[in-house]
Amino acid sequence: MAIKDIVTLVDLNGEQPATKLTVEFAQQVGAHATGISLAFEPIVPGFIAAPMPADYLQMAHKQAVDAANASAQTFKKAAEMAGIPFETRVAEIITGGSLDPILQQARMTDLVVISQDNPEMPEPMRELVIEGLLFESGVPTLLVPYISKGKFSPKNVVVAWDGSPTAARAVHAALPILELAEKITIVMVNKGQAAEGEPGADIATYLARHNLKVTIDIIQNPPISVADSLLNYVSENDVDLLVMGGYGHSRMREYLVGGATRDILGSMTVPVLMAH
């Protein structure tokens, strides 16, 4: 299935790496792009007994909407310059509240793009938004490092493979992008597990039936974590994109992210396509 519809969460601050990547990728594949800017409604602390002044709430709401509209204009200008079909939207959510206004708009698309949080210019609720998109949207999520310049040419792609259902979903989601690649490497990190059969043969056969040529690389017994092993491999091999499953579960809408997923999200240096 081709990627024909992309939704991106537009940053309120900074260099807009997700916007730049989305616009460039949409131009490459002929996709429609939607930029969603978030207006964060202020939350009134529970320990404040007196009602907040109405003029304060109105001013805070106006500031949030103005900031969202400004970021939407940034997306609009980039999309117009690239000559792609696009639209902009503003979604209002309560700070610390439900992510449904975002998730409902993200579910009917082929790909969601969002930037990693920039510690120098943090976005409100960014980690929760990423986790919500990853675990509850039902759509593959492309995460863009905050250091990215927005260029996206996925010629050298690594697929992190452990045979799990989550990794399989990521591979299925990545097929339209893998078709653009010149080099695809299946990377398996073996922490001493006993292997049955030829490692990686199943996914290599599957991708070969999609006319994709792959190589398999096994990292044997690394003295570091799985996430660090993958990050080192990406750095040492000039990789353009990492494809992997996103691990975690939710409990009472508080997301508990698996260790490898959390570490990759915190330290990634190239775009990462995740599916859950």
Q: Which domains does the chain have, with CATH numbers?
A: 5-144 (3.40.50.620), 156-275 (3.40.50.620)
The dihedrals phi and psi of 159, each to the nearest 5 degrees, come to: -110, 115
Cα angle: 14, vertex 82, 107; to 5 degrees: 70
User: Residue 137 gets which letter from DSSP?
Assistant: S
DSSP state of 3: -
Q: What is the DSSP letter of 221?
A: S
pLDDT value for 257: 47
DSSP 111: E
**Strands 248-251 vs 254-257: parallel, antiparallel or unpaired:** antiparallel
CB 186 within 8 A of CB 178: no
Helix, coil or strand: residue 64: helix
Read out DSSP for 217-251?
A: EEEES-SS-HHHHHHHHHHHTT-SEEEEE--EEEE
Residue 175 is predicted with a pLDDT of 97
Q: Which amino acid makes up residue 57?
A: L
Number of C-beta neighbours around residue 62 at 10 A: 11
- Contacts of residue 100, defined as CB under 8 A and 6 or more positions apart, other chains included, come to none
Q: Tokens in use for 183?
A: 């080099």
The stretches in the chain having pLDDT less than 50 are 47, 49, 249-257
| H or E stretch at 128 | helix 126-136
Within 10 Å of residue 73's Cβ, how many Cβ atoms? Answer: 14
Per-residue pLDDT, 252: 38
Considering only CA atoms, which of 18, 56, 154, 38 is closest in space to residue 103?
A: 38
pTM: 0.90
Residue in the structure block whose two tokens are 């902009």: 88
Tokens of 87: 């639209």
Q: Structure tokens of 122?
A: 């943090």
Neighbours of 132 (CB within 10 A): 21
